[in-house]
Amino acid sequence: MRHLALLVLAAPIATAVAAAPPARPLDLSTRVLAEVRERAADGTTRIALAAPTRVVPGDRVTVMLDYRNTGTAPIADLVLANPLPAGMAYRGPAATGPAPEVSVDGRRYAPLAQLTLALPGGGSRAAAAADVTHVRWRLARPLAPGTGGTLAFTATIR
Amino acid sequence: MFKTLRHLLLGGTAIALSAGAAHAQTPGPAGTAAGTPIVNQAKATYSVNGTPATVDSNRTEFLVDRKVDFTVVAQTATTQVNLGQREAVLTFTVTNHTNSRQDFLLDPDQQNLPLGILPGIPGSDDFDVTNMRAFVDDGDGVYDADDTRTWLDEMEPDETRTVFIVADIPATGTPTLAHVSLHVIAAEGDAKGTQGTALIQTSLGAANRDDQVDIVFADNDSDGLALGDLPRNGQARVYAAYELGNRTPGLSVLKSSRIVSDGVNTVNMRALPGAVVEYCLLVSNANLLTPATNVVLTDKLPGKTTYVPGSIKVGGTCLLGGEAQDDDADDANDGKLFGGSYDTATRTVSATLPSVTGPVPVAAVFRVTID
């Protein structure tokens, strides 16, 4: 009796998901932009973001995640995760937008100040930005159809 | 208790694994190798109407460009040579800070600046060496017949090698300084045994692409003067000098004496029997540039005198005396900088001075009584 109820409930949902166009309602894309110094007419310099055509060790980059709900139903429990690419060291959150939760092992996420790293000889030390291996954002509220946003963090080329 | 322990162990393993992975991808000080692709891909998990789903983002990729940076250091600012010396050697080290394998071209040249404005080098250039060449050390740090390569071939990131400038010194004249410089130019690597061509920085205005490795000069102005080098030009120039000069210390000793007491008078004391006489040996070095080291003074007592035990003082002036010394021959046991002793058999006073520099004369004093 109980099994039957579950089946009955599950069947219409499965149908609804299959019928909803498109099959993947979340559109997620990533961009990496290099920080370049631009000289303004008044002689000052400012930091601008440009395509990463010229990037050498020590340069700063901004990693951006663009997300949008292209479906018809709200998207709940949205978690956007970005493992740090090889050759990139985490530096901090971008100037605008929410700061991500970070992790030094891909398992435990917390603000950086609360993370520690085990030392090879025993004991542990406070984690530094360069130790971060994963960043993620959890959206507290469901993403309504047709809405989206951009999240970003900054990193340094190792 | 068991559960907690297991949890800790699991946590420890996970951290160790990820630390190992992070370590493996950590490059040296020169940074991630040029041409390495950096690929980013994000992932999202979500649910729609209670059904969980995941989606991967696109993969974005770009290549790390080549950051050309290196340093050249002269091992000594000046090197002592003699007139007519052949194959006099100056030693330099070159370190490749570029995030790729590089050749470096070596171009030794003479500097003829009349004023002593070159960083780290005293005096003015007043002669030229001949037959000047540059060679790469074969690994033993000493210039010898095996060192024949004239450019730095295939230097790995963060590698340091030794380079020599070799030249002949003129046989005649009264010269003092020959300024030379080692001019080093970054060149294309990746062809072992072949001298690469000098690098050209990728034009800033060029239509760069994410999938090509640009050449970016990041070297500093090696002389800090914008004189023989400029920042970010893929070159370095470091100065050193051959020096000819008098390197012999000019030592002289002046002996003096004064009567300290004669047992009768308090002024105008006389050399009466029983009077105490203080002798002073004052050592001077006429060559201001070259200290004399381990100077040993000996003085045999005149006849009809007796040494006053414990009266040796070394290291000050004739009047003040300096450090008091004991009379035994072992100078290591008294913790003093200077040494002093008296040998009763030979009636000889000895004093040892570790160094006598040009500007400051040093005294050794001792006392005798007239028999």
- List C-alpha distances in Å: B91 to B46, B103, B125, B223, B335: 65, 19, 19, 17, 39
Asked if residues B161 and B155 have their Cβ atoms less than 8 Å apart, the reply is yes
| B66, closest residue in chain A (CA to CA) | A56
Q: What is the pLDDT of residue B326?
A: 81
Chain B hits for A143, CB-CB cut-off 8 Å, are 46
Within 10 A of B78 (CB to CB), how many other CB atoms are there?
19
Q: What is the pLDDT of residue A64?
A: 94
Q: What is the pLDDT of residue B117?
A: 64
Chain B hits for A53, CB-CB cut-off 8 Å, are 62, 208-210, 214
Chain length of chain A:
158
Q: What is the pLDDT of residue B210?
A: 64
Q: How is residue B166 written in tokens?
A: 């070799």
Q: Tell if the CB–CB gap between A105 and B62 is shorter than 8 Å.
A: no
Q: How many Å from the N-terminal Cα to the C-terminal Cα in chain A?
A: 60
- Give the span between the Cα atoms of B99 and A57, in whole angstroms: 8
Nearest to B350 by CA among B331, B334, B369: B331
Per-residue pLDDT band for A8 (boundaries 50, 70, 90) equals: very low
What are the pLDDT tens digits along chain B (371 aa)?
444 444 443 333 333 333 333 334 567 889 999 999 999 999 999 999 889 999 999 999 999 999 999 999 999 888 888 888 889 999 999 999 999 999 999 999 988 766 566 666 777 888 899 999 999 999 899 999 999 999 999 999 999 999 999 999 988 877 788 889 999 999 999 789 999 999 998 876 656 666 778 899 999 888 777 778 888 899 999 889 998 876 667 788 999 999 988 888 888 888 888 899 999 999 988 776 677 888 899 999 988 999 999 899 998 888 887 888 888 777 766 777 888 889 988 999 999 888 888 667 889 999 999 98
Q: What radius of gyration do chain A's Cα atoms show?
A: 21
DSSP for B25-41 reads T---TT-SPTT-EEEE-
Residue B31 in contact with partner chain A when CB distance is under 8 A: yes
**What region, left, alpha or beta, does residue B137 occupy, with left being phi > 0 and alpha being psi -120 to 50 degrees?**
beta
- Residues A83-125: pLDDT tens digits? 999 999 999 999 888 999 999 988 899 988 899 988 888 888 9
Give the helix, strand, coil percentages of chain B, each rounded to 5: 5, 45, 50
Give residue A148's identity as a one-letter amino acid code: G
Q: What is the pLDDT of residue A62?
A: 95
CB pairs under 8 A between A and B: 151
Q: Tell if the CB–CB gap between B18 and A105 is shorter than 8 Å.
A: yes
Q: Which of B14, B50, B65 is facing A54, going by the closest CB pair?
A: B65
Residue B35 in contact with partner chain A when CB distance is under 8 A: no
Q: Tell if the CB–CB gap between B46 and A26 is shorter than 8 Å.
A: yes
Helix (H, G, I), strand (E, B) or coil at B333: helix
Within 10 A of B193 (CB to CB), how many other CB atoms are there?
7
Q: How is residue B97 written in tokens?
A: 């800070």
- Give the span between the Cα atoms of B224 and B90, in whole angstroms: 21
- Rounded to two decimals, the ipTM of the complex is 0.80
Beta bridge partners of A47: A37
Q: What is the pLDDT of residue B93?
A: 95
Q: Tell if the CB–CB gap between A157 and B22 is shorter than 8 Å.
A: no
Q: What is the pLDDT of residue B114?
A: 61
**A16 pLDDT exceeds 50?**
no
- Give the span between the Cα atoms of B364 and B351, in whole angstroms: 7
Give the helix, strand, coil percentages of chain A, each rounded to 5: 15, 45, 40
Query: How many angstroms from the chain centroid is the CA of residue B299?
Result: 40
**A58 pLDDT exceeds 50?**
yes
- Higher-pLDDT residue of B20, A157: A157
Q: How many Å from the N-terminal Cα to the C-terminal Cα in chain B?
A: 94
Within 10 A of B282 (CB to CB), how many other CB atoms are there?
17
Q: Which residues contact B265 (CB under 8 A, 6 or more apart)?
A: none
Chain B hits for A65, CB-CB cut-off 8 Å, are 42, 57
Q: Minimal Cα–Cα distance from A64 to chain B, Å?
A: 10
Model pTM score:
0.66
Mean pLDDT on A41-67 = 88
Asked if residues A156 and A132 have their Cβ atoms less than 8 Å apart, the reply is no
Asked if residues A41 and A131 have their Cβ atoms less than 8 Å apart, the reply is no
Tokens 């992975």: give the residue.
Answer: B21
Q: Which residues contact A130 (CB under 8 A, 6 or more apart)?
A: A89, A90, A156
Q: Is the dihedral of CA B331, B335, B336, B338 positive or negative?
A: positive
| CA quadruple A82, A87, A92, A98: dihedral, nearest 10 | -20
Asked if residues B107 and B94 have their Cβ atoms less than 8 Å apart, the reply is no
- List C-alpha distances in Å: B105 to B72, B77, B94, B102, B155: 12, 22, 11, 10, 12
- Touching A: B residues 68-127, CB under 8 Å: 99
DSSP for A37-102 reads EEE-TTS-EEEEEE-TTS--TT-EEEEEEEEEE-SSS-EEEEEEEEEPPTTEEEEEE-SSSPPPEE
Q: Tell if the CB–CB gap between A117 and B47 is shorter than 8 Å.
A: no
Chain B hits for A73, CB-CB cut-off 8 Å, are 48-49
- Give the span between the Cα atoms of B277 and B262, in whole angstroms: 9
Q: Tell if the CB–CB gap between B64 and A55 is shorter than 8 Å.
A: yes
